[in-house]
Structure 1
């Protein structure tokens, strides 16, 4: 009995200790993410009111290049630096990473670059967490845990999805494995980070799946089964996985060939900015610039519009993929995830029309499934579906995320992810029996 009480006392001390550690870290991360979201919204709507700013995008790219050249040092590696630091602590995450990525992401969006915000939030989380780890004089294992919690706080705060942030922070580190050692600190950090953003009165975009009229069979109290709809979801999910491969290959190829062919480094973002301007002039509309959440004009294709019939064009997903690959591949800053949401939701809209399926449901499935394939985080993406769209279609969310994950190739958007046995190792072991 005494042994049991001692164990329970140790657990209680562990919980209280991490509560006290995480509180200032998560509040700091949540506050900086709230500032970032507020500035990002101002920048995007300022460009809406002043569309000529797009023509300064090449100069913005040059300024970003020299900001990182003068102050960036290792911060240039972004999310991959944080993932590497969790796996093999030593180099450290520079304190300047948080303000630098915040500033350069806002610059990218102010002048029309197609990028996201998750990378910024994760880097803010990692930078602030690393600062507090030094302040608290943590050992290597504790520092690893706090950095992971920093990712959870940043991700949960920027999207308003704390459960997703919790699982994403643990799942993104190693393909096919989750280390639960950091679960409690990540959970507390993600919820406190999200609550801090809410306390600053910064709001997230709501999404909604329409009620689906179907003659489906209920196989449990909560979930229903429609075999025809399930088949359509499975076919679409394979295509969602292919879209994530295309995004990863396009982004990495543009970066690789730009560095190989252009010897003067600051000319790379100039070329990228000019290509974005040229594409916009050819297409004749600014739908694929910047974040893609708010509409610049009535009838613009956005993530929100893709949840409605006629809310996306046939190749909207491909245009967004090209715009984002050029933007990120030529040195502009920001995340990949929100563009992946755009690519997935508009592709889902297109597939729903082709398959005569529910548009809002397939937009939601694409939203999470392309993200799953690109980041190799199917569990987190399934949870994101339930947090953003409700639990009614949880089974379909899981099917879409895992099929897209399996069909997304061996590489994701984070090169620092560990791949101990490969995600298909269990299939190889099955064949060997």
Structure 2
């Protein structure tokens, strides 16, 4: 091995490890604070009526940073993806701001998750490291991926998944394996710091039994994966549609957007007559692996989350997708002859995979989350969901380096947003 190789390896390990060390601590703070705020909200149900005011404050915070910067910051995870591709600089203030916004959303009952805040903080910390150590432009993208890996691995207690997710999240059909070492270092150290230094524990989802292997079982699994992938597409389209419409109607006044969104969530809560779909919904998510949940739970959570995030509140979408998929799997238990916990697990993984467009990371998530139970089923599930979800997803800024099918007329390097827009324009011309 030559000196250049050793020097580069040490650089990636040190910088990736530094990012993981910082993100492990900030993610521990995120998870602990979110848990506490969730308990406060559950003990004070009246806080939901303050959600519109919280949205107004959140919108003001983003807008006061400047019109151009405010619009950029509202891109959230998309801004991190664009920074990896060199289209826009990563804004270091995004991380602290999204943390505070997530706390507001969780405390007052918006439906959101956690990984968005962790990933965006990861990008902010990585950009700070890039600036402080004067990292060359060619390497800044790799450290930004490391920040994504650290945030995801620490947020869910899945370091292997986090290492791959940082490389896979930004683009379809291409992975930058050069980033493997720093992404792995950041994810594993971030996970270690979160759990072993700060003592944070993660939720556990246990699959009690797995169906015996048979052609019929695999056919059912394929059909289920297709169904869950289409549900993920429906969620993504609804969430992006609400986002676009709310910006158009309010002329990108984020204060009014979030205020109206908060009012809608309050009305939906009153209509449903339950607080189960506010906040993160972790209790019902865990319950879906053990016992029956309301048959409409998946649809309620889908709508609550699409409205919350589509109108300007912030947080993450992985936990809501977990919830949507797991509760739908729970509902299907009365129609499909599979173990309850297995159906919930299939829904959780397939819905997340279809929305995130990360089949390898989703498969590794199933392996880590379910202790490798049903590993062959989940491999098929992730590939199927990835293919049938088409070129849609949670993050419109994802680049399509290789189409999911050669039958689709998509130019390599196109973003999901542009591909969807061209598809709509083509339909209008027809």
TM score, norm. by length of structure 2: 0.91
Cα distance in 2 between the residues matched to 1:81 and 1:253: 19
Q: CA deviation at 1:15?
A: 2.2
Q: What number of residue pairs does the alignment pair up?
A: 404
Q: CA deviation at 1:426?
A: 7.7
Per-residue displacement from partner, 1:46-93 (whole Å, max 9, x unpaired)? 00110000000000000100011113633222111111111116x422
Secondary structure, aligned partner of 2:400: coil
Corresponding position of 1:232: 220
Corresponding position of 1:299: none
Q: CA deviation at 1:211?
A: 2.8
Corresponding position of 2:84: 86
Q: CA deviation at 1:428?
A: 8.6
Larger deviation, residues 133-142 vs 91-100: 91-100
RMSD value, Cα: 1.7
1:131 is aligned to 2:123: no
1:399 is aligned to 2:380: yes
Corresponding position of 1:195: 192
Task: Give 1:381-420 correspondences, 5 Å limit.
Answer: 381-420=362-401
Q: 1:305 aligns with which of 281, 287, 293?
A: 287
Identify if the C-alpha distance between structure 1 residues 86 and 265 changes in structure 2 by more than 3 Å, giving closer, same or farther: closer
Q: 1:67 aligns with which of 58, 61, 64?
A: 61
Corresponding position of 1:222: none
Cα distance in 1 between the residues matched to 2:85 and 2:91: 17
Corresponding position of 2:272: 283
- Tell me which stretches of 4 or more aligned residues in structure 1 moved more than 6 Å: 426-429
For the pair shown, which has the larger CA radius of gyration, 1 or 2? 1
TM score, norm. by length of structure 1: 0.90
Q: CA deviation at 1:272?
A: 1.1
Q: Is the 8 A contact 1:236 1:351 kept in 2?
A: no
Q: Is the 8 A contact 1:62 1:269 kept in 2?
A: yes
Q: CA deviation at 1:293?
A: 0.5
Cα distance in 1 between the residues matched to 2:314 and 2:199: 26
Structure 1 gap ranges (5+): 217-224, 295-301
Cα distance in 2 between the residues matched to 1:260 and 1:96: 26
Task: Give 1:23-102 correspondences, 5 Å limit.
Answer: 23-71=17-65, 73=70, 74-88=72-86, 91-102=88-99
Q: 1:271 aligns with which of 240, 260, 285?
A: 260
Q: CA deviation at 1:262?
A: 3.0
Q: CA deviation at 1:265?
A: 4.2
Corresponding position of 1:297: none
Corresponding position of 2:301: 320
Cα distance in 1 between the residues matched to 2:54 and 2:409: 48
Q: CA deviation at 1:399?
A: 1.2
Q: CA deviation at 1:309?
A: 3.2
Corresponding position of 2:181: 184
Q: CA deviation at 1:392?
A: 2.5
Cα distance in 1 between the residues matched to 2:408 and 2:43: 53
Q: CA deviation at 1:278?
A: 1.1
Secondary structure, aligned partner of 2:129: helix
Structure 2 gap ranges (5+): 411-430
